Structure 1
């Protein structure tokens, strides 16, 4: 059903991804789909990496671990931005096209009051792209 599943990940919150990773593992194996893990970061030092090369290496390691654990084909796609907070939605929409994703699977949170004032990334992506979007809420 799906050939390429794009999964945006925030390596700062890896512990909150387990449920969505389980879902993508199941879908990728069932459809024999390739998974593309996308990480968006600054080129400047962050708490995750000191530079783009280190960020790419950490995202690649994360991707290899998930591929081994779940048994699906995977690749990583690091994206760099001068302001990831402001540009995240735009960068993700561009990356959907670049990687040729036919499904975007995103971890999400339980809605709260701020979601009525500020749109969350999952709902923005779902309303602004032509690709199917699967939002996975942690149990």
Structure 2
């Protein structure tokens, strides 16, 4: 049913993503589809890495760990944005097309008042992507 799954991750908060990571791995096994883990960083040093190259290496190591842990094929794609907080949705939507993903599996959060004014990342991806989007709460 699905041929390529994309899963956005935040390397600084992997513990909060376990449900969506497990769902993505299960769907990957069920559909014999690879998972591409996508993460966005800025060119400046951050809490996860000193530079985009180190960030990409950490993301790749994470993807390899998920592959071994779940017995699935994985890949990683680190993207650089000058303002990830502002450009995140646009950057992720571009990645969906670049990867050729037909399913995006991403973690949600408990809705709050701000979600009535601004769409969540998952809502924005679902509204503007050609791929199916599975938002895990």
Normalised to the residue count of structure 2, the TM-score between the two structures is 0.98
Cα distance in 2 for residues equivalent to 1:112 and 1:67? 34
> Counterpart in 2 of 1:28?
28
Gap regions ≥5 residues in structure 2: none
What aligned pairs does 1:1-139 form with structure 2 within 5 A after superposition?
A: 1-137=1-137
Normalised to the residue count of structure 1, the TM-score between the two structures is 0.96
Number of equivalent positions: 137
Cα distance in 2 for residues equivalent to 1:17 and 1:7? 10
Q: How far did residue 79 of structure 1 move?
A: 0.3
Q: How far did residue 129 of structure 1 move?
A: 1.1
Q: How far did residue 118 of structure 1 move?
A: 2.1
Q: How far did residue 113 of structure 1 move?
A: 1.2
Q: How far did residue 117 of structure 1 move?
A: 2.0
Cα distance in 1 for residues equivalent to 2:98 and 2:105? 16
Deviations along 1:17-56, one digit per CA (max 9) or x if unpaired, are 1111111111000110010000000011010100011101
Cα distance in 1 for residues equivalent to 2:105 and 2:65? 18
Richer in strand (by share): 1
| Moved >6 Å (runs of 4+) | none
Q: Secondary structure at the match of 1:37?
A: strand
